[in-house]
Each structure stands twice: as structure tokens, then as C-alpha cells.
Structure 1
Amino acid sequence: MTYTLERVARQASEAKELAVHTSRALRDLKRGTKSGLTGRDRFVRHAVLRALATGRPGITYEDVYREVYRERAATGPAMTTMPTWAAELAAVDVGEFLADGVQPLALSRLAAFGRQVSLDGLGSLKIPYRPPGDDVGGWVGEGAPIPVDSLDFGTISISPRKAAAVSTFTNELRKRATADIETLLETALRTDIASVVDTALVDDQPGSALRPAGLRFNVAAVTASTATDPLVAMRADLSKLAGEIMAGGGTMPVFLVNPVQMTSFLFMPNVVYPVIDSAAVPAGMVIAVDGPGFISGNGTAVIDASKDAVLHEDTAPAPIAAGGTAASPTRSLWQTDSIGVRAILDVAWGIPAGRAAWVEGVKW
């Protein structure tokens, strides 16, 4: 009986605190103030909590949250919908994580110029677009009939593809300040995911069940200018790429370049079209994409951690054991007192035919 009364009293107390939190959240919304952390911070903090809770029996990442980020005084119940409590634990703002920070992904910066869709719960999605040269209408005189033509649409099909990365750290990570842990994890996750995603974005490989097609797939390179003056060559190359985009029905070319070529834009401050720099673009190459025609999507992420896993440390990892053959070299996180943090996210992109162009071997 006493136990039941205590439980009822605790539930009543939690309900009261929940009402207080809800009232404060509604007040903040009414005032237009922003509660909680940014999506990037939530994403990173979720990874930090997973890492710090790993290998501690009976300790959840909610417990670590209270230890590290909150005072030990009484707090409201852990709810992923509550600001400044457990909302930070829900790693849902993948797009904001990829688009924000010191080194945003090229995919996220390009996506800002086009159409972005959510991939949550989708197996595939068809996006319509207007092919070039399909305009209707015209000038007509008084009483004259208006020209009529069919409205033909093309479609782009995009399907979620899984990008994943594993970063490992020694257990000394636990001994560092929380801010340092967040910085280390953010840098590691962003670097790993960027290597996977942006490299595929700018390559010439076809789409498959594993990945989307690269922007240069099935697109022939235009010939680079042979002008000896770098600025003259640069103007010629950019004009040619822009012309390819316009001829394909595009309206606004966006240039993707290597940081080496990005420095040349300092001498052309009046470039009217957006420029995105990424180390994933090979030096000497420039890719042009119709910004409004670019379609992209991302879904929620899965963040988890382990100190007991065994990893095949290779750029093309194999199953640890398959058909009696063991992968090599392997690493035991338990034996090396290390932590592995894994990030898995859904991404997809597509572009109508004719709205991407590229050139290599530029002279600037």
C-alpha cells in the first residue's frame, strides 16, 4: 500500500513538473524565443552521450546527460519533446548537422539552392520537372485563339541510400572536458561522413542499390580553355559550363570547385552565380549544377557506440568471419580500451538530365 501511494505521489509530481515545462515552452513560443540547442548541437551531443554511457552497466545515456549537462537537483521527466531536457538526445536534425559548422558538406550547401525532401518512411520518391523547350503560350491578337500544347513532365526517382561511418577513440576520451569531447566527435563524424557523401556526390559512378549516382555520371566533360592568361581561361570555362546548364533547361548554375580553384574567384569578385568549394572535387576540375533543379533528401540518423565490438580496419571492410576466412587486420575495442561511435543516415539526391556539366584540367 505504501509502495502504491509513493508511486502515485511520484507520478503526480512528474505530471506537475511536466505541466510547468509545457507552460514555459508555450510561453517561449508565444514570445518568439528559441528553446534548446541547434540541430547540429543535438546531433553531436547525442553521439557524446552514447559514447560516455558505453561500458557502464546500468547507466543509460539519459543518466549521463544528467551527470554532465544538468545539475543534480530535481528535474522533470526525460521526454524527447521537452526543450532543454531530453530533446538534445533525439538526433533528428541531420540536415542541420551537415549544413552547419566550420566545414559544411558540399551536398548540404548545394541542396540549399534546390528542392529538399524528407526521406522518413519512404522507399522511393518521384519528383516531376519540366524538360527544356516545352513552353506553351504566345502572343495573340484580339479575338484570336490562344495556342494550346500539352504539358509534358519528366520525373526524377530518388531512393534513400545508407551512408555510414565509424570513428574510434581511446577511453582517455572520458577523461577530457565535455566541450573537448563534443569538438572531437563533431570533427570526426563530419570528416567521416563528408568523405563518404561528398566523394560520391561529385564522382562519375552510376547509381546502385548502395548509393546515388554521381553528378558526373553519363555526362561528357567539356573541353577546357587553352588560353594562357588564367583569368581569360577562367571566364571561358565558366561561360561554357553555364551555357551547358542553360541549354539543358537550367536557370541558375552553381559551381563546385576544389579549394585550389576557389582562390581564383578572389580575382573575380563580381561572379553572380554561387560557388561551393570542397576537397572532394579533384584539383583542376569544375562542376556546374543547376541549383533549382537539384533534388536532395535526408532522413533521421542512428547514433550508437560500443566498446566491445571487433572492427575490420580497412577502407573496404569484409565480414569478420565468412566461409571460415577471418578478416584482417581486426581490432578489438575491448582489448584496446577504445570506444567506437557509429553514425548511420539516409541520404539521396538527383538531377534532371542536361543540368550538370563539368570540365577538368583547367588552367587557373
Structure 2
Amino acid sequence: MSYELQRVARQASEAKQLAVHASRALNDLKRGAKSGLSGRDRFVRHALLRLLAAGRHGVSYQDVWKERYGERAVTDPAMTTVPTWAAELSATDVGEFLSSGVTPLALSRLAAYGRTISLAGISTLKIPYRPPGDPAGGWIAEGQPIPIDSLDFGNVMLSPKKAAAISIFSGELKKRSNPDIEALIDAALRADIATIVDTALLDDQPGSISRPAGLRYNVTAVPASAATDPVAAMRADLARLVGEIMAGGGTSPVVLVSPVQAVSFGFLPSFTYPVIDTAALDPGIVIAVDGPGFISGTATAEIDSSKDAILHEEDTTPLPIVAGGTAAAPSRSLWQTDSLAVRCVAEVAWGIPAGRVAWMEAVKW
């Protein structure tokens, strides 16, 4: 009798679990959602939850998650450690967010050919690499010693830097764009972060306490071909850039160009190496990077939102709102203008051994 009761209890428990899973699936269908969110979707939803909770006193973004996505029929608690269950409450997917979508960052596309590391909890990281030189070993006679290389390693230093952006939306966003609000947040965050990160990645500026060095920093441009025929000039330019990478110890170049130059690759359908086009490069500039030598990483992003802050609307040299009795201008009160702001701070770093980058400007194709 006791055994029968245990069996019935077990069957009832299994039926309950089946009902729970069915309830979740039905709720997913009602919302038109998939059960497994991508990292990009989780990151965007996290930003959205922060945005929708802004200005609602006593309401947390966890409460907004329950209102918008929560499973009211389920009794077991939501856990951010389960990918399909409240994972939107943690902004841990910044890497996948930056590398996906219609316009992934040039940093993310280049990182796909190199080495990617996590920067969580890291202040400074030294990554060794072997400089180009004579290979170790060789052909030897019987009983003779094997040649040994000195193995003097170099180091690439990575120190995470903060790429930060604030995106402003009108208060009507929550009222009139409910079906498309995630797409709007996605596009705004991606555009802001991409402009900051990719521009720094591809410029010629030195590193500082606030940013990593650009790939072109301390790298002298090689002359572009003087050939008048664009196709001949293109072939000569690319051969020169690839040769520079190989001479520096690289093995597999990746070419970065502006969208204007990317069109010309249609005339070289059999070009061997990967090509990345990005609006962060001015027309006429072409960069070659040793893909396997490129090292990059990201850490968990910090996302917050406000409806009450006062902002100095300046994209180059923002100032304190009031300093020495002088108010920064132009300023915006989010409360007065019924606006919302989302702030994203992402830790990013990159590096590459010396000799693994080559570039030229004023190409004729």
C-alpha cells in the first residue's frame, strides 16, 4: 500500500512538471517568443527592463521583467543562471551583442580571426607571443646536437578601458512603440558603442588612461601604388600590405577597408584573405592586420537608466553641470522634457604584437 502511494505521488509530481513546461511553452507562443534567447536578445532586454523601470518609484527592473516576460503560472523561482529563465536580469552578453546583428562591430568581426579572452575581474593582463626570427631545430647528422632557439618571448599588454554611451529617448517611446521597442534599443546601443569602439580601434592615436591605442598608432603608412589603372593599383597595394604582415611574423592577414573600397573587391573575386568593411574608416585608408595575432576581450557591461537626470549634451568635451558657478550648455533635464536615458558602460581591450599591422592611405581604387 505504501509503495502504491509513493508511485501515485511520483506520477503526480511528474504530471505537475509536465504542466509547468507546457504552461511556459504556451506563454512563449502567446508572446511570439522563442524559448531560447540569443545573447544579443538577452542583452537588449536587460537594457529595456532598465529603461522601463526608470522613474517608477518602488518598481525595480525585476518587477518590470515579471510584468513583461514573467511566467505567472509557475511557482519555481526565476534564476539568472538558467539561460531561458530570467537571464535578461544580468547583462553578461555584451560580447555576443556586439558581434551579432545586421551591423556587427569591426572589433567583433576582427576578433573572430584572433584570440578572445574574458576581461572580467582583470586589471592588466600580459599575453606572451613569439617574435619573428630563425626557426628552432633543423636537419642533423647522427649523434649531433639539435639547434635550439633562445625563445625570447614578447608580451602584449591588455588593460580594460571603459567605452561608455548615453542614449536619450522621448517618454512617448513606452506608449507608442511597444512592439518595436526592443529593436529601437538594439539599434541605439549598437550605433553608440560601435562609433566609440571602432573609431578608436582603427585610428592612429596612442593609448591612455581612458582608451586603448589604435591599431595604426606608431605604425608608419606604406606608400600606395602610383599605377593609374585602379585594378593594377589594387593588386599592388594588397600584395604590399600582405607582404608587410608576413615580414612581421604574421601568418593570415585580414584586410579592413571603408565601404567605398569594399566595392572594388568585386573585381578580385578570388582574393585569398578575409575583408572587413566598416564605416569607421575614411575612404582611401586600407589596413591589414594579422588575424591570429589579434587579441581582444570584453567584460560584463553596466547598464542603467534614468528619467530624472540632467545631462550636458556634448559629445566631445562634456563638462560638469555646474562648475565654478558656470552652467554647462546645452543641458537637458530628462524630467522637464519627459525623456528617458539609458547609459551603457562596457569594458573593452585589444592588442597585437609589433609588426603585425600595416596600412596605407590615398589608394587609387
TM-score normalised by length of structure 2:
0.89
Residue correspondence of structure 1 range 1-364 to structure 2 within 5 A: 36-70=36-70, 72-315=72-315, 316-364=317-365
Q: CA deviation at 1:74?
A: 4.1
CA distance in 2, matches of 1:250, 1:284: 24
Q: CA deviation at 1:162?
A: 0.3
Matched residue SS, 2:358: strand
Q: CA deviation at 1:344?
A: 0.4
Decide which moves more: 287-296 or 57-66: 57-66
Conserved? CA contact 1:257–1:285, under 8 Å: yes
> What's the CA shift string for 1:166-188, capped at 9, x where partnerless?
00000111113444111111000
Aligned in 2, Cα 1:140/1:329: closer, same or farther, shift over 3 Å? same
Conserved? CA contact 1:40–1:96, under 8 Å: yes
Q: CA deviation at 1:67?
A: 1.9
CA distance in 2, matches of 1:157, 1:73: 51
Aligned in 2, Cα 1:162/1:20: closer, same or farther, shift over 3 Å? farther
Matched residue SS, 1:243: helix
Matched residue SS, 1:241: helix
Matched residue SS, 2:293: coil
Decide which moves more: 256-265 or 143-152: 143-152
Gaps of 5+ in 1: 1-15, 25-33
The match for 2:5 is: none
Percentage identity across aligned positions? 68
> What's the CA shift string for 1:13-35, capped at 9, x where partnerless?
xxx99x969x98xxxxxxxxx96
State the AA in 2 paired with 1:278: T
Q: CA deviation at 1:320?
A: 1.0
CA distance in 2, matches of 1:258, 1:340: 31
Q: CA deviation at 1:313?
A: 0.3
Conserved? CA contact 1:46–1:90, under 8 Å: yes
Aligned in 2, Cα 1:139/1:165: closer, same or farther, shift over 3 Å? same
Q: CA deviation at 1:150?
A: 1.5
CA distance in 2, matches of 1:112, 1:35: 27
CA distance in 1, matches of 2:279, 2:83: 37
Runs of 4+ in structure 1 displaced over 6 angstroms?
none
Matched residue SS, 1:300: coil
Q: CA deviation at 1:228?
A: 1.4
State the AA in 1 paired with 2:130: R
> What's the CA shift string for 1:282-326, capped at 9, x where partnerless?
111100100000110100001110000110001121111223222
Conserved? CA contact 1:201–1:214, under 8 Å: yes
> What's the CA shift string for 1:241-284, capped at 9, x where partnerless?
00110111000110010000011111211111010010001111
Matched residue SS, 2:117: strand
Q: CA deviation at 1:75?
A: 4.5
State the AA in 2 paired with 1:343: C
CA distance in 2, matches of 1:223, 1:186: 40
CA distance in 2, matches of 1:322, 1:164: 22
Matched residue SS, 1:82: coil
Conserved? CA contact 1:199–1:281, under 8 Å: yes
CA distance in 2, matches of 1:294, 1:64: 40
CA distance in 1, matches of 2:248, 2:166: 39
State the AA in 1 paired with 2:348: V
Matched residue SS, 1:292: helix
CA distance in 1, matches of 2:322, 2:301: 28
> What's the CA shift string for 1:194-222, capped at 9, x where partnerless?
01000000000000110000000000001
> What's the CA shift string for 1:83-112, capped at 9, x where partnerless?
433112211011100000000000001011
Gaps of 5+ in 2: 1-12, 22-33
The match for 1:29 is: none
Q: CA deviation at 1:36?
A: 3.0
Q: CA deviation at 1:124?
A: 0.2
The match for 1:27 is: none
CA distance in 1, matches of 2:71, 2:150: 66
